[in-house]
């Protein structure tokens, strides 16, 4: 039994097309992660004004809520820069309404653990102690740890937040701030 050339060509064309379509599907970029946090943008928010702040000693900057929130998160970023890993211009991102900061998102991806050495985790714990409980570290999240994520753990404008921002050694960073 011989196959007709037309039938053979149609089958080959179909299989080649199917293979090509499968290859193109692989080349498509992956969709953005559902629920990925939005990057903060300078401007007014319900809690105050978000401004771009430069992280002392580095080329990095992040959009953060001005006042005690920025003072605390800039303290976290500055110590991280000096004591854990130097920050480049793209290594710090302010999230949401300016009350969250992600440091080196490529080096410390969401969901990964063990990215920091034990002595670096000790430095993070010391930084958090400086902040008097007003800053929460994403590495402590049980559901989805994120070792480069820091967020304010008090409502903006609360006395807890303001008290944490005026504690030494953080208080040396707040000179000249308009919220005083």
Give pTM, 2 decimals: 0.73
Q: Is 35 within the bounds of a domain?
A: no
Dump strand ranges (E) for 10-141: 43-44, 49-54, 61-65, 92-95, 100-103, 135-137
Beta bridge partners of 65: 50
Q: Is 3 within the bounds of a domain?
A: no
- What confidence score (pLDDT) does residue 97 get? 86
Q: How many domains does the chain have?
A: 1
Give the list of residues 6+ apart from residue 121 with CB closer than 8 angstroms, or none: 139
Q: Which two tokens stand for residue 101?
A: 């900061």
Q: Is 134 within the bounds of a domain?
A: yes
Q: Is 29 within the bounds of a domain?
A: no
Q: Which two tokens stand for residue 91?
A: 């290594």
Q: Is 142 within the bounds of a domain?
A: yes
Domain extent, residue 52, equals: 43-173
Write out residues in the chain with pLDDT < 70, as ranges.
1-37, 40, 43-44, 46, 171-180
Distance CA(121)–CA(139), nearest Å, equals: 9
Q: Which of 143, 152, 155 is nearest to 35 (CA)?
A: 143
Distance separating the N- and C-terminal Cα atoms of the chain: 93
Q: Is 168 helix (H, G, I), strand (E, B) or coil?
A: coil
**pLDDT tens profile 102-151:** 999 999 999 999 999 999 999 999 999 999 999 999 999 999 999 999 99
Q: Which of 102, 24, 111 is nearest to 62 (CA)?
A: 102
């Amino acid at each position: 039994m011989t196959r007709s050339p037309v039938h053979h060509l149609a089958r080959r064309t179909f299989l080649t097309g199917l293979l090509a379509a499968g290859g193109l599907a692989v080349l498509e970029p992956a969709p953005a992660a559902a629920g990925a946090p939005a990057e903060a943008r300078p401007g007014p928010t319900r809690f105050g004004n978000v401004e771009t702040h430069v992280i002392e000693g580095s080329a990095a900057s992040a959009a953060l809520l001005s006042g005690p929130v920025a003072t605390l998160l800039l303290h976290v970023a500055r110590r991280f820069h000096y004591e854990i890993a130097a920050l480049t211009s793209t290594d710090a991102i302010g999230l949401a309404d300016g009350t969250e900061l992600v440091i080196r998102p490529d080096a410390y991806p969401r969901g990964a653990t063990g990215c920091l050495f034990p002595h670096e985790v000790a430095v993070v714990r010391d930084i958090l102690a400086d902040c008097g409980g007003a800053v929460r570290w994403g590495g402590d999240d049980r559901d989805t740890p994120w070792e480069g994520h820091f967020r304010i753990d008090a409502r903006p404008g609360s006395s807890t937040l303001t008290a944490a921002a005026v504690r030494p050694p953080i208080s040396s960073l707040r000179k000249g701030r308009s919220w005083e």
